[in-house]
Structure 1
Amino acid sequence: MNTDTEMTPSVVDRATYEADLDALRVREKAHTHEGDAIAAARRRLPMVGVDPTITVVGPHGPVSLLDVFEGRSQLIAYFHMWHTGHSAAEQCEGCTFFNGQVRELSYLHSRDVTYATLCQGPYDVSLRYRDFMGWDVPWYSAQDAADALLGDRPRSPAPLVCYLRQEDRVFETFWTSGRGLEPMAPTYGLLDMTAYGRQETWEDSPRGWPQRWERRTRDIMRTDGRPTAQWSRLADGHPDDLLG
């Protein structure tokens, strides 16, 4: 993989730069409008009923899926993967990457939407991981409920599922996985704006651009054997012992 960072975009005068940027803006706006159209189609999808009494485990013990809504009309649930019996360093780098970037929930709440993590592992141990990572999103264990909630859908990459509540009834309205999770991670959108992009081998970049990471390897979201975000937590003195 190419790691040369000496290659840079060509240098031009300001007028040429702005003209090329204006041309790209036309494509960016078309991309935005197509995204709006897809979102409009998503809002017109049918929905399917879900048993509201399915039980997950939260801070006060077992609760129903209905309770996870926290009284709001909509719920976004991320089904965080869990590697039972493994250390913090061995936990899912992808889930750590995506789930760790969903932090400020007040804007979702203002739209009557709750965000919650439904971890596919046991509550007490996985909660220690949440606390080690410094996350404060609502956290539940769906270890015994995942089959009922996800059915035959793949568990890896972890899916994100949207639900709608009508009084005591719950409906699933949308789900996604893989690259569909990228809205959870503003990091990717910001990297896409930079000259070198994500620096991944699948990207269409000019010859000589740095492309350090292969998308299909775990290293893309790991540094020195750990999910990258863990290093700052360790540096701040937070223990990563999941067994207490």
Structure 2
Amino acid sequence: MKTPPIVSAPEWDMAYQQMLVEEKAFTRARDALAAKRRRMPWTEVNASYRFEGPEGPMNLLELFQGRRQLIVYRAFIDPGTGDWPAHGCTGCSLMADHIGNLAHLNARDTTLAYVSRGSQADLERIKNRMGWKIPWYTIVPESTFDRDLGVHDWHGHNAFIRDGDRVYRTYFINNRGDEAFNNTWTFLDMTALGRQETWEDSPPGYPQSPAYEWWDWHDEYGSHEPSRWFGDPDPDDPHDPRPVKPCH
């Protein structure tokens, strides 16, 4: 592997100070984008979308758990995904692995919930296996919640706010936007080798492998071949099981 220049500590600090200008500009740009999100119009949604929770039937309003704001992630822990019934989707499982103590989010009057098409019994079994403590609900078979909110075919986060019993959709993030909720990428992006994926612009000779395919369930790394669920299907392989990714 050909490395970047090896320099003295003062030279390194000079290069870092130059990068810091861009880092700060990125932070300000991110803050400006967040300010625009806060000024997005709201649209009212059906507060009676039905779910099943650990205690029984629930509606969307009840997912708020009494708080003013709600973020709902559509996780594909569903029959037919991953190596079901042992696990669900590897990418959605990777997302769930990064959710820690929600007390800090709750302190800002905000609830985070995951929803899937898996039954409560299946979700509870997989949560116990994976060590997840996230509030997790089942989208009931007749519900159109995921289709109506843009997460029927692909993962994504929807943000809601309530005014009494009325619920409004305020924002939506999906696809690579969801990376913001996964600090594995943040840590890797600050390293010399980055994510080590083939799409990245890295110096020649840096280790790289296809995006998505190295992911695994955290209790299965090294035990089987890389997943072929994520990534673009190979047009020359009629047996490639990956679906064509929908456009959003």
Using the size of structure 2 for normalisation, the TM-score is 0.83
Contact 1:66 1:168 in 2 (8 A): yes
Percent identity between matched residues is: 35
Contact 1:47 1:172 in 2 (8 A): yes
Q: Superposition pairs for residues 93-242 of structure 1, below 5 Å?
A: 93-144=90-141, 147-151=144-148, 153-212=150-209, 214-215=210-211, 218-222=212-216, 227=217, 229-231=218-220
Q: Which runs of 5+ in 1 are unaligned?
A: 1-5, 235-244
SS at match of 1:8: coil
Q: Which runs of 5+ in 2 are unaligned?
A: 224-248
Higher relative contact order (CA 8 A, sep 6+): 1
Q: Deviations over 1:25-55 (max 9, x none)?
A: 0011111111111100011101111111221
Q: 2: CA distance between counterparts of 1:168 and 1:124? A: 29
2:67 aligned to which of 72, 84, 93: 72
Q: Deviations over 1:71-130 (max 9, x none)?
A: 000001111113415524562011011122011211101100001111122221122111
SS at match of 2:214: helix
Partner of residue 58, structure 2: 63
SS at match of 1:230: coil
Contact 2:49 2:143 in 1 (8 A): no
Contact 1:54 1:148 in 2 (8 A): yes
Q: 1: CA distance between counterparts of 2:118 and 2:86? A: 16
Q: 1: CA distance between counterparts of 2:142 and 2:127? A: 20
How many aligned positions are there?
A: 220
Q: 1: CA distance between counterparts of 2:133 and 2:93? A: 13
SS at match of 1:155: coil
Which residue identity lines up with residue 219 of structure 1 in the other structure?
Answer: E
1:51 aligned to which of 30, 46, 52: 46
Contact 2:79 2:117 in 1 (8 A): no
Q: 2: CA distance between counterparts of 1:17 and 1:162? A: 42
Contact 2:149 2:158 in 1 (8 A): no
Which residue identity lines up with residue 177 of structure 2 in the other structure?
Answer: G
Alpha-carbon distance change, 192 to 10 in structure 1, aligned in 2, over 3 angstroms: same
Contact 1:81 1:95 in 2 (8 A): yes
Q: Superposition pairs for residues 17-32 of structure 1, below 5 Å?
A: 17-32=12-27
Cα RMSD between the aligned structures? Answer: 1.9
Q: Deviations over 1:152-180 (max 9, x none)?
A: 72534311110101111111101111111
Using the size of structure 1 for normalisation, the TM-score is 0.84
Moved more, 187-196 or 86-95: 86-95
Which residue identity lines up with residue 117 of structure 1 in the other structure?
Answer: Y
